Structure 1
Amino acid sequence: MTIDQQTIDNVSQLDAEKRYQYLLDEVATHRQLWILVDEHGSVMLNTEDEDCVPVWPHQAFAEAWATGDWADCKAESISLNKWLSRWTNGLLDDELALVVFPVTEEDGLVLYPDEFDLDLQKANKRKK
């Protein structure tokens, strides 16, 4: 799915909580989310307390974030079914958190995979 620049600009200006809600709705609608990968696998970010995998609702947002040290990374989609069946447990096993929808000017929310999973499932039920 393509997304226009005006939407990218508008959504990028939302606060972290509103971007999170946007991501949940978009993932439930399009049944995929996006990560950045390099030759070593998924890009990781570090907070003071957590190692995190960043996620985005569209390829364009992931690619817009891939600058500087991450300029060589590419956006990769993960289907919602694959995320729910493999990624949540894998992240929990590896003791990793998520940073949801960071943008250039602002960090995303940091969540544990099981919290994110629960919110994704709720959003998915609302879309059915």
Structure 2
Amino acid sequence: MSYTLNEQDKAQVLSLSDNERFNHLVNRVNEQQELWILTDEHGCMMLTTDDDEDCIPVWPHAGYAQDWAQGDWQHCKPEAISLNVWLKRWVPGMTDDELLVAVFPTLNETGIVVDPYELKDALDRKKSSGRHN
């Protein structure tokens, strides 16, 4: 159900601030009903922040996730997770495992790192507002 991502749109979105990319992800995930992670044969890719917090990076489109699949992560592939599965399984599971979410990181920026329920709350607020900007 993914939308078409052209290079011009991609460059424009990647130039946004962390907060603007967070909002973009919330909007797109609500529209598309999916988000993207990177996986390999061992499971999903995780990052460790400068504060030694473990987090799972998420993106609104496979194209953004694919950008990360280089260097140490070149063996990783983008994988879609339906919004329903994310909310029902991943959010409680990540909370139980004390993992955070890196929301829409770029190669230069970590993105906003939040508790899984903070992202869920933002997605729920967007859904209840009924707007898809």
Matching residue of 2:130: 127
Contiguous gaps of at least 5 residues in structure 2: none
3-state DSSP of counterpart to 1:77? strand
The structure 1 segments of at least 4 consecutive aligned residues displaced by more than 6 Å after TM superposition are none
The root-mean-square deviation of aligned C-alpha atoms, in Å, is 1.0
Match of 1:12, as an amino acid? L
3-state DSSP of counterpart to 2:79? strand
- For each residue in 1:54-104, what CA deviation from the matched residue of structure 2 results, as whole angstroms up to 9, or x when unmatched? 000001000012211111100000011111111100000111001000111
1:17–1:109 Cα contact (<8 Å) kept: yes
Contiguous gaps of at least 5 residues in structure 1: none
Task: Determine the C-alpha separation between the residues in 2 that align with 1:127 and 1:101.
Answer: 22
Matched, 1:108 2:111: yes
Q: How far does residue 126 in structure 1 lie from its aligned partner after superposition?
A: 2.3
Matching residue of 1:19: 21
Matching residue of 1:59: 62
Task: Determine the C-alpha separation between the residues in 1 that align with 2:33 and 2:64.
Answer: 16
Task: Determine the C-alpha separation between the residues in 2 that align with 1:107 and 1:69.
Answer: 16
Matching residue of 1:118: 121
TM-score norm. by structure 2 comes to 0.92
% identical equivalent positions: 45
- For each residue in 1:84-128, what CA deviation from the matched residue of structure 2 results, as whole angstroms up to 9, or x when unmatched? 111100000111001000111212100001111111111122236
- For each residue in 1:5-42, what CA deviation from the matched residue of structure 2 results, as whole angstroms up to 9, or x when unmatched? 10110000111000000000000001100000011101
Query: Please, which of 72, 75, 86 is the counterpart of residue 72 of structure 1?
Result: 75
Q: How far does residue 49 in structure 1 lie from its aligned partner after superposition?
A: 3.5
Match of 2:40, as an amino acid? D
Task: Determine the C-alpha separation between the residues in 2 that align with 1:70 and 1:117.
Answer: 27
3-state DSSP of counterpart to 2:13? helix
Task: Determine the C-alpha separation between the residues in 2 that align with 1:105 and 1:9.
Answer: 13
When the two structures are aligned, how many residues end up with a matched partner? 128
Matching residue of 2:91: 88
TM-score norm. by structure 1 comes to 0.96
